[in-house]
Homo-oligomer: A and B are copies of this chain.
Amino acid sequence: MKDSDEFKVLKKVFKNLGNQYFDSSSLLIGPGDDAGLFKAKKELIFSTDTSVGDVHFPKDLEAKLIAYRACAIAASDIAACGGSLKWLSISLTTVNKNTKWVENFSKGIKEFSDFYKVPVIGGDLTVGKEISVSIGVCGEIYKQDFMRRNGAREGDLIFVTGNLGEAFLGLNILKEKKKKLLPKEKNYLNRYLKPEIYFTFSQSLSKLANSCIDISDGLLGDLNHICEESKLAAEVNLEAMPIVGNYKNALTWGDDYQLCFTLKATKVEQLYKIAKTHKIKISEIGKVKKGKGISVLSKGKKITIKKAGYNHFNG
């Protein structure tokens, strides 16, 4: 949280990012000291997520967009557990030695901070050969409400929020540097750049769902994490899925940051109520079964879908 003059740059650029949300987040000391100090009312959740240039986003993306997206992606893990977001911590490695880029980056942090009314507890700034952003996120939740990956039960119904495949289309629009966009294309681009995190919905959901995950690596991969951790299988119906674009990309490419969750059939009525309250689109896509792995059915027949998603360690 320091390093000679880096400290001054950080202080100037990163200070007052969401300071007005200190009280509501029980943050007692923010950036500037060796560490930030905060209080907890409930149990606390922590997660960290690193985004690297040209791995997780195009490196020529505008700094403030890189910042916003990195925050959203990290914060998505808090929603996936059912928590409320308490604070962010920013670790930025930049390739630029001037502070302009960092200032633009801080605008993205500010935008996120203001949208979700969340303070920044502190950060770290270094110069390296590639842009790398590590965001730490802290949330609050009661222990009994924490939605785990291992909580799925046989017979649970499987749901997803929103649409699948939008972020993949958005990323391609970004890569093509297309200028004049149709409204739906703007929507896809937005899903990639500024995925909305459903904090209030997922806090209500946490009282109903048995398991939940955010879709960062494609529905099939992430649902498989739930299956593996819960030692169960899943059967999903292609026709029931809210797919946009090519179904392979929609199901195996990540970046959508929608939620996939399972719950008891008896709780479906309540689920639709809270989805309506929070104006979140949900789709029932399948069922949790005994066994292992995921079966995808199309018109009643099992089909095989080859993974199109990115894999860091074999990619």
Contacts from A to B (Cβ < 8 Å): 1-7, 9, 28-29, 32-40, 43-53, 55-56, 77-78, 80-81, 83, 87, 89-91, 93, 97, 99, 121-130, 132, 134, 136-139, 141, 143, 146, 148-150, 212-214, 216-218, 221-222, 225, 229, 254, 307, 309-315
Contact A2/B217 with A33-B81, A47-B122 known, Cβ cut-off 8 Å: yes
Q: Which residues of B contact A128 (CB under 8 A)?
A: 52-53, 55, 130, 132
Chain B residues, Cβ within 8 Å of A51? 126
For residue A99, which residue of chain B has the nearest CB? Answer: B313
Interface of A is mostly: mixed
Measured CB to CB, the closest approach of chain B to A146, in angstroms, equals 5
Report if A34-B81 is in contact (Cβ < 8 Å); known contacts: A4-B311, A93-B50: yes
Q: Is A48's CB under 8 angstroms from B123's CB? A: yes
Contact B48 A124 (CB under 8 A): yes
In the assembled complex, the Cα of A222 lies from the Cα of B123 at a distance in Å of: 17
- A314 and B8 CA atoms in complex are apart in Å by 12
Partner of A80, one of B7, B35, B38, B126: B35
Q: Is the CB of A46 within 8 A of B93?
A: no
**Other A-B pairs beyond A7-B225, A36-B45, A46-B138, 4, CB < 8 Å:** A1-B48, A32-B229, A48-B123, A125-B312
CB contact under 8 A between A44 and B49, given known A5-B313, A55-B126: no
* Complex-state Cα separation, A2 to B74, whole angstroms: 11
Residues of B within 8 A of A5 (CB): 311-314
Residues in B with CB closer than 8 Å to A146 are: 29, 33, 37
Min distance, Cβ A214 to any Cβ of chain B, angstroms: 6
